[in-house]
Amino acid sequence: MRGLSWRNFDFLLLGAVVLASTFGVMMIRSAIAGNEGLLPLGNRQIYFVLIGLVVIVLLAGIDYRYWLSLHWPIYLIMMIFLLALSGLGQAAFGAQRWFTVGVLFLQPTEFAKIVVILVLARYFEKSQNDPRDLKWLIKSLAWVWGLVIWILLQPNLSNVIVTMVIWAGMVWMNGLQLKHVIIFGAVGALAFGALVALTISGIRLPFLQKYQQDRIVNFILPDPNATYGSKYNVDQALIAIGSGGLFGKGYGYGTQTQFRFLKVRHTDFIFSATAEEFGLAGAIIVIAMEAFIIWRCFRAAQKARDLSGAMIAFGVAMLLFFQGSANIAVNLRLIPVSGLPLPFISYGGSGLMSLMVGIGLVESVTMRHKSMDF
Amino acid sequence: MSSHAVPRNSRFETWRLFVIYGVIVLILTTLLGRLISMQVFDSQSYIDQAVENYTKEISSPAPRGIIYDRNGFILARNAASYNLVITPAYVPDDDADTQRIYREISTLTGVPVNSGTLEEAKLFAPCVEGPGINQLVALGDSLAPYTPVQIKCNISENVARLVSERSVDWPGVGVEIVPIRDYPTGSLTANLIGFLGPIPASLEQSLRAKGFVPNRDKIGYAGVETSLQEVLAGVNGKRVIQVDVAGQELRNLEPPIAPIPGYNVTLTIDTRLQAVAEASLLQEINFWNRWFYGNSGQQRISSGVVIAMNPKTGEILAMVSYPTYENNRMSRFIPGYYYNQLSQDPRRPLLNNAIQSEYPPGSVFKLSTANGALNEGVVTTSQIIQTPGKLELCEQFTPNEPCIPGQNVRPFVDWIYNIRGVLNPAGFGTLDFLRCIAYSSNVCFYKLGGGYGDEIKQGLGIFRLGEYARALGYGAASGIELPGEADGLIPDPQWKRINQGENWSTGDTYIASVGQGYVLATPLQVLMSGATMANDGKLMQPTIVREVTDSEGKVQTVWFSPTDFTIWVPRTVSDDRGNTTQAWFNLADSTIVKQLPAGSYQISPFTANMKWDITTDPRIAVYNCEGGNCIKTDQKKTESPSVVKSVQAGMRLAVTDPRGTLYAIYSERYPLPIAVAGKTGTAEYCDDVALKANRCQFGSWPTHSWTLSYAPYDNPEIVVLAFEYNGGEGASVAAPVVARVLKAYFELKSIDLAKNGG
């Protein structure tokens, strides 16, 4: 091991993460205030944040290459976990997305996204001198689908999309040929078109839940006879955001949030709760915090000493960006409801922890960058 | 400088990174743009929606006023009715639990768990049985999940208590308490009190503006409940509250406005006398129906009326219209089958026959002719009039038409001419004016009305007869505080030309003089004519309202305008300069006027309102009758008090003279220790029903029975009228009813006196 200097640790990144998580804890407390059953969640999130910060420091101290060398065991263990939760594992464990460990629910899917980043980083480094042909592309896809197939079978479409976006970003950065972009784009568009067409014509697809299919249809073709429940959540989110105005109604005074018109307000719609209580100003601060964290990840990617490090940081940046913008876009009714959390702010132990692991890896990359400090 | 020092990885092409950055910037711009458009430009509409989300306006129903009779006996009140309700939002998430609850409710109430489809359930009004619990709840869930759905209305108190006890095990299930109108006297006073019904679509908008809640609040549909709707209804309160998503009340957003309870109304009715009147009428009707048809159930007398009034104050003490209906059956909702049954009944039980039906008054109308003839000098009290059994009179359609026997000369018979087949050509022989009234001689009144040769050179004539009839209360609605009053009809030549397309004939005048032909009157008008006589020519405004009090018992000043059925209370208004003036506030539309509509009278606190005094108020148009032709002049005159006295004497003679029409009843069957005066009537009629039954044979038309009496003769307290449709002879069919009511009145009076004295 070379001389490790904590001077290279990205304190700004850590600071932004602490800030965002703290803000998240605060918003969760406001969001659950009206519901006694949810009250313990506020403190639980604090523990997750504290544990997560320890994880970041620990991971920063360990060279990320160590994990790359262990990619096979990590990959296989993750696959076993996902398998247990997938259709095949249902008989044994029941249809769940999490494992119960003591009082905690562990969602392997969240960690699977980090594993995909690790595995792809290692693959692209190893293959960096290979021609960017179809074989190179398909091999990278094979690594991804080894895990993603089980996520799809859960079924958890949102996270499949997240993983595929990370993959797409990474192959793009590694010199994906434009003709392949066109081919994949065409195939993707066709598949999506077929999905929509089939859903509209009422044919159930095997790997989608009915509600997921309905959400897609509802979004593309709003049903004029839509029942009370199907658009309710998003409608209330829009009212929450819009009524927040420039500076919001004040912390704890959002009528949509406090009187529970806004649903799943501590997870999926926490952005709406923020926008209601802190207005446009608060919403922009949240977006700025997220953007700052992502920017520090891109910065780490550029400074990384090797391609795998760059790819890890880039992958984490992609993960954060896509998940964050997808969540906000759902809140703003720009895309169908996906169930993706807002990074560092939404409630959820596994989600937060996997992101903390990601940030820890990025810190590890930053600390070992190539510049000469002496 | 450090970034320059770092050699870029050869695989990391800068342009590829820039594409990524470009995509990120594009997405961020989209998000920010949407955010700004929502939070800056469209913010107000979202704020409105947020406010609408948590704002709920609750109308607090005002309790409807209670209706009492003159002795404080309750005629209409508000009772509690229990409904079993389910709030769809609160039923358990687990369908098995929900279905278990529904099954248990079904056993308790008998409402099926499943019945019909959701689509069918939409067609049912609340509280109407039909849909199953699942359908009702599913329907409610799709409309307003936090609004309780009525599963079974009007459950017993026991079931309500049971449901309340089990509400812990049955989330979402509850008991709703709604006030319903309860009428302790039921059908006895249904025609007076009326009933309530839902707010009709035509009134929905205007009543909503006044704070009424359609589908909850009800309005009067008949009787006093309609005419005094504004007095009884009160004003609903309003609360604007903040609610959370579950509909739970958090706080008041505005200071709450408490409901103002409706005023209580005390009627002039004496329920005891009302009960006596109804019983007497039914006894008589049943007696005659059984007399003619045995127990076959066939009806001879199909309807009847009894009215009792204080002639000095106009207070209606009893008003019975038979047949009637049970207004308690309408208290929760108006059952369609029952309403149809009532509205299709040819006897018209929904009508208050006392004021809403018109009949030929027959001989009771002779009071008009008598007053007129004596006051106009057609006859004198000392004059002896030849009254054979029948007169051969000329039916002239024009003044100069020749009288040709066999062509236009018709017999006009007296009622005594043919008594059950025994002919009596001599009739009453000779009579003086008082005995004409006492014996009710038709021949005498033909002569007084139409003139007869040299004996009565100039008859009263139809125009002058009309004047006196109107002076006694005929020909126009009385203005009592009950809806739908009929006007009656006093015919004249112009009316006949327009409505019958024919000239007035001399025969028309003859028969109008005895209250036949085209003359029509409501029973109340007949009563008023008797009351005017009893009260020495002073016609009092008939009224059914004695007092209006607020919920604390304070008597209110209330005026009633019969012309447009509006109700007014005094209100002090101040103008710009601060001067205050007295004005009137319309309870119906909240307008304020300086001057009340013409004809308005005070209904509370009680005042005896005189419509007019025929001996002092010039109400009778003067006609110039020379040469058989009467021409109206602009002058008006009064009636001489001596004329009133003479007619009173005639009415008294009917009771005291052994040949008087009322002698038998008051001297033999129901002897009263109090001096009574009165008049009977046996009015021939030929309406649709009689025509259909082929009963309109010349000389033997079916007849209505009338009897009018007042007592004590020298200082009358009560005037009673009985009418029986197709009853036959007034003296034998209607008079017993009147006599029994009079008897009961004086008995009740002595009971009250004893009670108050001791």
Average pLDDT over residues B376-380: 92
Q: What pLDDT does residue A299 have?
A: 92
A129 close contact with B: CB closer than 8 A? no
Structural domain includes residue B710: yes
Task: Please say if the pLDDT value at position A374 is more than 60.
Answer: no
Handedness of CA B270, B272, B276, B278 (dihedral sign): positive
The interface predicted TM-score (ipTM) is: 0.90
- In chain B the first and final C-alpha atoms are separated, in Å, by 119
Pair (B561, B692) in one structural domain: no
Structural domain includes residue B277: no
Q: Which residues share a beta bridge with A109?
A: none
Which residues, at least 6 apart from B225, have a Cβ–Cβ distance to it below 8 Å? Answer: B76, B181, B193, B194, B195, B196, B232
What is the distance between the alpha carbons of residues B270 and B267, in angstroms, rounded to a whole number? Answer: 8
What is the distance between the alpha carbons of residues A85 and A83, in angstroms, rounded to a whole number? Answer: 5
B54 close contact with A: CB closer than 8 A? yes
What is the distance between the alpha carbons of residues B411 and B401, in angstroms, rounded to a whole number? Answer: 18
Task: Please say if the pLDDT value at position A345 is more than 90.
Answer: yes
For residue A95, name the pLDDT band (cuts at 50, 70, 90). Answer: very low
Structural domain includes residue B596: yes
Under a CB-based contact definition with an 8 Å cutoff, are residues B621 and B631 in contact?
no
Average pLDDT over residues A361-370: 89
Structural domain includes residue A42: yes
DSSP 8-state secondary structure symbol assigned to residue B682? E
Cis peptide before B261 (omega within 30 of 0): no
B422 close contact with A: CB closer than 8 A? no
Which residues, at least 6 apart from B282, have a Cβ–Cβ distance to it below 8 Å? Answer: B322
Nearest by CB to residue A328, choosing from B6, B31, B53, is B31
3-state secondary structure A9-63: CCHHHHHHHHHHHHHHHHHHHHHCCCCHHHCHHHHHHHHHHHHHHHHHHHHHHCC
* B292 vs A100, residue with greater confidence: B292
Under a CB-based contact definition with an 8 Å cutoff, are residues B28 and B36 in contact?
no
Given the structure tokens 């369908």, which residue do they identify? B95
Structural domain includes residue A176: no
Cβ distance A227 to B142 less than 8 Å, yes or no, reads: yes
* A233 vs B64, residue with greater confidence: B64
Query: What six digits make up the tokens of B129?
Result: 């049985």
Structural domain includes residue B438: yes
B24 close contact with A: CB closer than 8 A? yes
B25 close contact with A: CB closer than 8 A? no
- When scoring A167, A177, A259 by the number of chain B Cβ atoms within 10 A, the one with the most, hence best to mutate, is A259
Which domain CATH number covers B493? 3.40.710.10
- When scoring A170, A178, A239, A274 by the number of chain B Cβ atoms within 10 A, the one with the most, hence best to mutate, is A239
- Sequence letter at residue B405: P
How many structural domains does chain A have? 1
Average pLDDT over residues A119-127: 93
Cβ distance A175 to B45 less than 8 Å, yes or no, reads: no
What is the distance between the alpha carbons of residues B158 and A82, in angstroms, rounded to a whole number? Answer: 58
Chain B hits for A255, Cβ within 8 Å = 50-51, 53-54
Residue B311 Cα distances to A60, A324, B533, B605, B654, angstroms: 109, 91, 9, 19, 19
Task: Please say if the pLDDT value at position A1 is more than 80.
Answer: no
Average pLDDT over residues B288-312: 91
Kindly give the pairing relationship between strand B237-243 and strand B249-252: antiparallel
Residues B722-758: tens digit of each pLDDT: 999 999 888 899 999 999 999 999 999 999 999 887 5
Q: Which residues share a beta bridge with B321?
A: B305
Task: Please say if the pLDDT value at position B490 is more than 70.
Answer: yes
Residues A169-227: tens digit of each pLDDT: 999 999 888 888 898 889 888 887 887 787 777 777 666 666 666 666 666 555 554 44
Structural domain includes residue A72: yes
List phi, psi (to 5°) of B244: -90, -175
Full domain range(s) for residue B19: 2-41
Pair (B608, B749) in one structural domain: no
Average pLDDT over residues A289-310: 93
Query: What six digits make up the tokens of A199?
Result: 């859903």
Task: Please say if the pLDDT value at position B373 is more than 50.
Answer: yes
* B677 vs A348, residue with greater confidence: B677
Structural domain includes residue A188: no
What is the distance between the alpha carbons of residues A319 and A116, in angstroms, rounded to a whole number? Answer: 11
Q: Which residue of A has its CA nearest to B243?
A: A259
Pair (B577, B642) in one structural domain: no
- Among A217, A210, A223, A226, residue whose Cα is nearest residue A196: A217
What is the distance between the alpha carbons of residues A140 and A152, in angstroms, rounded to a whole number? Answer: 18
Residues A142-177: tens digit of each pLDDT: 999 999 988 887 767 788 889 999 999 999 999 888
Full domain range(s) for residue A112: 6-125+224-367
Q: Which residues share a beta bridge with B155?
A: B82
Query: Which class for B261: exposed (0-12), middle (13-18), buried (19 or more C-beta within 10 A)?
Result: buried
Average pLDDT over residues A70-86: 87
Pair (B419, B501) in one structural domain: yes
What is the distance between the alpha carbons of residues B756 and B743, in angstroms, rounded to a whole number? Answer: 20
- What value does the mean pLDDT of chain B take? 90
Structural domain includes residue B201: no
Pair (B550, B637) in one structural domain: no
Closest Cα in chain B, distance from residue A280 (Å) = 6
282-321 in chain A: CB under 8 A from chain B: 283-284, 287, 291, 294, 298, 302-304, 306-307, 310, 321
Task: Please say if the pLDDT value at position B23 is more than 90.
Answer: yes
Cβ distance B244 to A240 less than 8 Å, yes or no, reads: no
For residue A96, name the pLDDT band (cuts at 50, 70, 90). Answer: low
Structural domain includes residue B86: no
Task: Please say if the pLDDT value at position A78 is more than 70.
Answer: yes
Buried/exposed code over B606-616 (b: 16+ C-beta within 10 A; e: otherwise):
beebbbbbbbe
Pair (B493, B601) in one structural domain: no
133-152 in chain A: CB under 8 A from chain B: none
What is the distance between the alpha carbons of residues A350 and A3, in angstroms, rounded to a whole number? Answer: 33
How many structural domains does chain B have? 3
Structural domain includes residue A181: no
Structural domain includes residue B591: yes
Under a CB-based contact definition with an 8 Å cutoff, are residues A269 and A332 in contact?
no
Structural domain includes residue A204: no
User: In B703-734, where does DSSP find H-type helix?
Assistant: 730-733
Cβ distance B3 to A303 less than 8 Å, yes or no, reads: yes
- What value does the mean pLDDT of chain A take? 85
A265 close contact with B: CB closer than 8 A? no
Structural domain includes residue B198: no
Q: What pLDDT does residue B610 have?
A: 95
- When scoring A243, A263, A277, A311 by the number of chain B Cβ atoms within 10 A, the one with the most, hence best to mutate, is A243
Q: What pLDDT does residue B129 have?
A: 82
Chain A hits for B20, Cβ within 8 Å = 169, 172-173
- Among B171, B105, B97, residue whose Cα is nearest residue B132: B105
Query: Which class for B428: exposed (0-12), middle (13-18), buried (19 or more C-beta within 10 A)?
Result: buried
For residue B639, name the pLDDT band (cuts at 50, 70, 90). Answer: very high
What is the distance between the alpha carbons of residues B719 and B267, in angstroms, rounded to a whole number? Answer: 18
Kindly give the pairing relationship between strand B264-267 and strand B67-68: parallel
Pair (B525, B549) in one structural domain: no
Pair (B623, B709) in one structural domain: yes
- Among A87, A86, A75, residue whose Cα is nearest residue A111: A75
Pair (B670, B523) in one structural domain: yes
94-153 in chain B: CB under 8 A from chain A: 141-142, 145
Cβ distance A329 to B31 less than 8 Å, yes or no, reads: yes
3-state secondary structure B191-213: HHHCCEEECCHHHHHHHHHCCCC
Residue A334 Cα distances to A215, A281, A288, B41, B240, angstroms: 13, 20, 20, 17, 35
Nearest by CB to residue A34, choosing from B54, B142, B244, is B244
Under a CB-based contact definition with an 8 Å cutoff, are residues A83 and A93 in contact?
no
Pair (B490, B571) in one structural domain: no
B243 close contact with A: CB closer than 8 A? yes
Cis peptide before B605 (omega within 30 of 0): yes
Pair (B524, B625) in one structural domain: yes
Domain boundary among B558, B585, B613: B613
Chain B hits for A283, Cβ within 8 Å = 35, 39
Domain boundary among B613, B636, B659: B613
For residue B416, name the pLDDT band (cuts at 50, 70, 90). Answer: confident
Pair (B584, B673) in one structural domain: no
Report CA dihedral (B345, B349, B354, B355) to the nearest 10 degrees.
-80
Under a CB-based contact definition with an 8 Å cutoff, are residues A117 and A358 in contact?
yes
Average pLDDT over residues B135-140: 88
Q: What pLDDT does residue B628 have?
A: 64
